[in-house]
Structure 1
Amino acid sequence: MSARHAVIAIRQLEKNTGASRVAFSQAALLRQAGYRVTLLAERANEALVAERDCELVRLWRWPLRGAFRRQWFNRRVQAWCRRHHPDLLISHGDAETPNVLFLHNCVHLASQKIHGKPLPAGHEVALLHDRILSAQAFDVIGVNSRMMGDEVIRRYGIPADKVRVFHPGYDAGQFNTDDRAARRLAGRAAVGVDLSATLVGLVTSGDFSKRNVAGFIDAAAKLVALAPDRDWRFLVVGKDRFDSYRQQAERLGIGNRVIHSPVMDNVAMLYPALDLFVLPAHIEEFGLVALEAMACGTPVLLGDHVGASELLPATPEWQQRILPAADSTRWAEAIRDSVADQAGSEARALALASQLGPWQYAQQQAAMQHFFEQIAAAH
């Protein structure tokens, strides 16, 4: 008897995106569940596919940009599945499926939070998401935070029992509280900040508009005015254009206090170097960097639409560390208060780090594997 056949449909399958890493991980788990796995993609890293003992089928990419390009991918996926009759189709948001849909972003909510207005009519991602989510033809939808789950339930009326939350997991071998003093020294040296300074950092992959770097710099300027006697330094890590933010910092009189690093070779040494990690994002569907900072025992302040804030304890001390992204005055005051009580902040952060075992990568993978085993039993 031949193995059951699972298909994962994702337009771009490259290691440098979070969605690609999730898809590769799912492929490995499906193989463990006894499936033969085919990956349908327009662009893919063939070597990475081969490492996972999966078949890659490249679907021809529509050459013109626009909404039809995504619709075209969906049509090609459906046509391929009609010919090959897979037992299971997993879509990563760009294809309809009767089985499992994994959603990586909330485009409508993001537009409201980042730009303060709805998406324009005909937005290419929204058109397809609306079609797929409104039809509700799938058995189950996977999201990476309760915030995302609440959004699809509210916006599309999806029954709660069809929504499954799979938080991303962190690498406990890399992000932990071991050797904090040595890593703090190495991290400070890497960014050129003396230990006597107070270092507040926003670490992200990029997209500085979404992560509200402008709000961070505005809060930083207000913070310097609130507590002028402290030697403040502000670090932004991420790959995006920084010119306008540098100009903003200079206009506000803190240009010499702001450091930008496009990439960090060893971000694990950076978190202990920070006196405080902040993520004032307008929206962050999860925010793995926040979880990594927590795992390193670094105090955090998070925006109220950052999915990782769901992991903070439901106590007043922690809940007051979840702030509205747009209120830079509150951010300045909260940063000041956290650093003023640095010993207490660090003690709470270290206690939280010891409680994050369920969000280690291995544990989250085990939960996903159990999910796929349940699906295999049902098919």
Structure 2
Amino acid sequence: MSEPDERSSNRVAVTSGTRTASAVKKTHDDEPKRATFGVRYPREEGADLVFATKEDLSKLPTPSSNEEKATVSARRITIRVRLRTFTGLIFRECNFHNTRGRTASRMRSVTFERCDFIRTFMGTTVFHRVRFRDCTFRNCDFSNSEFYECVFERCSFNNCSAESAIFTKSEVDATEFLGGISFPQYNLTGYSAEYTARLHRLWMEIRLRLAEQVFRSNGEINHSEYLDRALFELKRAQLCYRYDLWRHESAVPTAQRRSVVKSVTSNLAGSVRLFLSWVNITLTRGGTSLQNLFSILLLSTVLYPFLLASTDVAFNDARISLASDSASTFLLSYLKFFLASVSLILGFGFTSFKAESIGGMTVTVVGATFGIFWYALLIPVIIRKIYR
């Protein structure tokens, strides 16, 4: 594969606009929307730690006798070597963006194994064929980072931020990654409610774009398990964003939040669509799983004979009744009407049922309607699993 387009690196520098010159003068991260808010930038003198050759790896610290990992603190990291592994290190308040805002930093064909990244700047950096194995990221910022053909293997994320991050042909568990991109409420003490509302809407938009990136990236490498998780997280991010718009009935994040009842009565069609989206995500994990669907079908067919027996419903002209003379007769009659319930819910036995009252007719119609709705959820999942 060819090198990542150089224009992508320039894009990062351009997006910062006129702030680039002033950003170099800052002593710490002053953006509350980032997980690294308040972290001091590595000092100018003696802050650079450069790995240009394999001999430079000797600059890495070694753990003390009572520690498992060595710590690299407050350094500006430059990695130019390739095909090397960095093992058992803790990068604390480090910065992998080493060009001081001129362009994006670059790193290629290295592996980080059992490394911890704590309050570290990972953003404005192009990672090409970089593998992270058994690594943890806590309060790290990935803003404007770009990952090409990278792998995150058994990694965990906690309280991270990643505005405008790009993933291309990279393997990443969407559940772990997006679960660690949390709203930075911990940075907002003392800020106004209006500013917090705006930042929360921005965070939801960022999370939605990240979910789209991760879904597309895992699709490019055809990682079916991660692709299913990414689709579920994408659907969930879409639902959260639409729910917030629905509660405010406005694209303005500072608009007054309405009650659920008022939201439903003022936008009934939108409420129904939102509810159906929630049902789809809950029962099929966004169209990726059949487990909940079959569990609900099993539970329904097990309980439905009791519901049918409580009304005047007849099956093949025989009134449904669960005999209780003995355990054996009860089991035989239950089995008979259990199979009848299956035929009703799955739709091929509806005409065999007759009801003389509104209650009995309601029970049969509800059972058949439930079956139709169940099929509507089932078929798209099966099609996706066959043709993905």
Q: Shorter-chain TM-score: which interval? A: under 0.3
The TM-score with structure 1 as length reference comes to 0.26
- Structure with the greater relative contact order (CA < 8 A, sep ≥ 6): 1 or 2? 1
